[in-house]
Structures are given as structure tokens and as C-alpha cells.
Amino acid sequence: MDAAGVVAAINDLYAYLHALNKASIEYGYDRLEDILLRAAFSGLVSEVMVRSLAASLSSRVPGLARNLYPNGHPDLIPRAMYPGDAVQNGDEGVEVKAARNPTSIQAHNTGEGWYAVIEFSCDVETLPLYDREPTTIRRVRVAYLEHADWSYSGRSATSRRTPTASITKEGREKLDAGAVYIRGGPQGYAEYARSLRAVRQDVAAPIAPPTPRERHEPAPEVED
């Protein structure tokens, strides 16, 4: 998986989102980012990137193809290794994950193997709506992860939450070492990361109690 193929896939994703959002807005709907739930939009980014990566890397040696088995694992497999480029659970290939949070990367299908993490930013808060930034791919990192690189969280007997696993700090370090694409280079990403931390600190800051005027209450009388 080389940088040129990854950049081609990213540009394909941008073109796809632009076309769909343009049509959606023209018909009076919102952007996909504002319509879909967070997990659904992440799944869309992942699926489009799988298809785009397969298209851009199919001619490489060895080439990668999209796994045509429904919900097959991994997402990308060596071209012509499996009959019909389809396998339910293959030993070779790359599983693709899309994530907003660089330190919280979760998955349902885990285990040892190659993983490509597509980190993106998605603005769903800026007002007015037309000032929102387009979805942007920030990093694409690839690494071989082992079972020890995953932290598993179960669920209680009464919970309906889907069991998930998260990549550990050691696993994220492996991914950092295998960065294939970084928007703006290391310096540009460092500035982006600082802006993320600033936003989180602002959100987490305690809210000052409202003044009587803000509460629409009369100010207390002051005794002489």
C-alpha cells in the first residue's frame, strides 16, 4: 500500500462525498455528515475507502482486491489469491477501519493481521451550517497488529451493547510508525492535534453560573 495509491483513493472519497452532498442539498436535505449517525458515517467512509483503495491498488504487484464475500474478513485481499476474490475469513490481506478519534480506535472483527486505519475529521457543530468544514482525511496508518495490541471490553448480561475491542497504546505506536499518509505532514498534523485538544478542553471547562440578568431574575436587594 503506497502513498500514491492512498492519495488517489482519498481524492476518490472526496469526489464521492461532494457529489452526494451537492445532490442532497439541491433536493433540500442536509449533508450526509449531518444526516447519518456517527457510526453509520464512519462505516460509509470505510466502505468507500475500501472500494477506492482496491481500484487504485489493483494494478500494483502484488495487487489488492476488495473482498467480495458478504461481510468477509479482511476487507482487502491479495488479488487472485482466493477464488473469485471472496473469502469469509482469510489469513492474508488488510482490514480497513475508519475513526474520528486518533486515540480511540474500536472494532468488532479483531485479531492478528494487517490493519489500515483511516483517521478523518468531520465538522457537525459549526454554525451556521454552510460554514462547516468538509470531511477531511487526516492520516492513513498501516501496521501488523497482534492479539496483545487489542483491549477487549465485554458487556453485562443485561446490556444490549455490541462487544467491542480497542487498539492499545502499543498498537497505536505501531500504526504511527507505519503512517502512509499525513495531511500537511507531521507539522500540519501536530497543529491539527493541538486544535483538537483545545476544543476538548473548552468543552470540558466548567460553566459559570448565570448572572441574575441571564436568569431573568431580579437582583437581590442589598441591605444598608
Domain CATH number, residue 131: 3.40.600.20
Strand order in the sheet with 179-182: 64-66, 76-78, 94-99, 113-121, 136-145, 179-182
Residue 62 is predicted with a pLDDT of 74
Residue 101 CB contacts under 8 Å (≥ 6 apart), including other chains: none
Give the model confidence (pLDDT) of 2-50 as tens digits. 899 999 999 999 999 999 999 999 999 999 999 999 999 999 999 999 9
Assigned domain for 8 exists? yes
Give a yes or no: residue 170 inside a domain.
yes
Q: Is residue 198 part of a domain?
A: no
- How many separate domains does the chain show? 1
pTM (two decimals): 0.83
Domain that holds residue 35: 3-184
Residue 32 domain flag: yes
Q: Is residue 51 part of a domain?
A: yes
pLDDT-wise least confident of 54-58, 120-124, 157-161, 170-174: 157-161
- For residue 193, being part of any structural domain is answered with no
Decide if 192 is inside a domain: no
**Angle (CA) 102 108 111, round 5°:** 90
Domain presence at residue 203: no
